[in-house]
Amino acid sequence: MNYVDNTPSSPGKFKMEKSSYKRLHSSLAKLTFWSLVFLGIIFIYFYSFNSASSSHSQSDLSRRSLRTSFYGGHVFERKVQASAKMKPGRKMSVLVTGAAGFVGSHVSLALKRRGDGVLGLDNFNDYYDPSLKRARQVLLERSGVFIVEGDINDVELLKKLFDIVPFTHVMHLAAQAGVRYAMENPSSYVHSNIAGLVTLLEVCKSANPQPAIVWASSSSVYGLNTKVPFSEKDRTDQPASLYAATKKAGEEIAHTYNHIYGLSLTGLRFFTVYGPWGRPDMAYFFFTRDILKGKGIPIFEAPNHGTVARDFTFIEDIVKGCIAALDTAEKSTGSGGKKKGPAQLRVYNLGNTSPVPVADLVTILEKLLKVKASRLVMKLPRNGDVQFTHANISLAQRELGYKPTTDLHTGLKKFVQWYVNYYGDGKKSTH
């Protein structure tokens, strides 16, 4: 009733409709204005996006063009051919992956010195200080070894290199190393150690002629095995780390490519390699750095005060084993991706056969550096490390003539001399 009573009269009703018309007109004007603003924003956004995309595409195209030019130009091809050229009397042309790495650089130099053709491949990643890898690169280039900067997962690059040079052998040392880092960046291990190996083998099996391949496995494949010393016939189905699991997977992948495509494959299980130009993530290396800087040294011990020991193997002994594996590698039996007969498939331990407690390693370093270490005894963490490693090398001795000759004190003395010469007073960063 009140609503009816409050209904305006005709004149008032007319005024209300006129007022509503004005408000409606005003609203439409505002709506039109904001619509135009909105459309303007959309236009500007898409214009900027397209410009950025165009610029990005042009940038990508430019990079690709530069890369194609770098990998396919005459200058590049001449460098590759010159580096891979064998001296008279030699019959081996080797592609060394991970050539700027610790083992890769030493093997490359040893092969080049005896007259073999050597071409390096390395992606110079920053797992540890790339400047150390660049320093190794300078050392190699002085000896005539050219390193192509690229990734082993780059199929086109690998095919290009095989088009330029008919490699007789591949020394595959490129890998994501380190047991503990796998807990931080697990995908890098799958990318390098599994996908990278498959990519390389795919290119090798299609090459004509197929190269013989020697590649780096690891003592880590023995994992939680308690039988010592570790023999090639021992079980390797209990990996203690992702790194170990990827290396074990690599051995199974090698078996597959050998069986299906006739690739000659030799896996080398390295045992704690150390020496000059080593890796900064290895205990002997950062112990040296931290002792000189006065920092504490973590000494791990196993449950019930158990000793943690490693079968430390000097780099020169490892190099001899690598070259012996290359020299005794039989030719692959496939051609153009097709197997024509059974091919060689081998796995060897390359160690020193003399495990040394890590605490003794520190004692030796103290004497060589003439500095007392601050020891921090702590429990062995559950991060993939195992209590001990110990190699049975009888198979490598018998079939490769492998015989390590460097004891830990002698090897560490050579390492310390290099370290002090390279890093000066020890305060220069190693990261």
CA distances from 321 to 81, 90, 214, 318 (A): 27, 19, 11, 5
Any idea which residue has 């193997």 for tokens? Answer: 313
User: Rounded CA gap, 231 and 353, in Å?
Assistant: 11
Do the Cβ atoms of 122 and 101 come closer than 8 Å?
A: yes
In b/e form, how buried is each residue of 29-58, taking b as 16+ CB within 10 angstroms? eeeeeeeeeeeeeeeeeeeeeeeeeeeeee
Helix axes 10-72, 74-84, angle to 10 degrees: 50
User: Rounded CA gap, 279 and 275, in Å?
Assistant: 9
The reply to whether 243 belongs to the active site is yes
Which DSSP category does 360 fall into?
A: H
Strand locations in 244-291, DSSP E? Answer: 265-270, 273-274
User: Rounded CA gap, 230 and 219, in Å?
Assistant: 8
Q: Are strands 356-357 and 309-310 parallel, antiparallel or unpaired?
A: antiparallel
Catalytic residue among 222, 243, 257, 261: 243
Question: Phi and psi at residue 214, in whole multiples of 5°?
Answer: -115, 130
Closest CA to 204 of 118, 76, 94: 94
Burial of 149 (0-12, 13-18, 19+ CB in 10 A): middle
Do the Cβ atoms of 77 and 164 come closer than 8 Å?
A: yes
In three-state secondary structure terms, 239 is coil
Question: Phi and psi at residue 340, in whole multiples of 5°?
Answer: -115, -5
User: Rounded CA gap, 313 and 76, in Å?
Assistant: 37
Conformation bin of residue 304: beta by default, left when phi > 0, alpha when psi is -120 to 50: left
User: Bridge partners of 365?
Assistant: none
Closest CA to 249 of 267, 272, 270: 267
Do the Cβ atoms of 347 and 318 come closer than 8 Å?
A: no
User: Rounded CA gap, 22 and 27, in Å?
Assistant: 9
Catalytic positions? 243
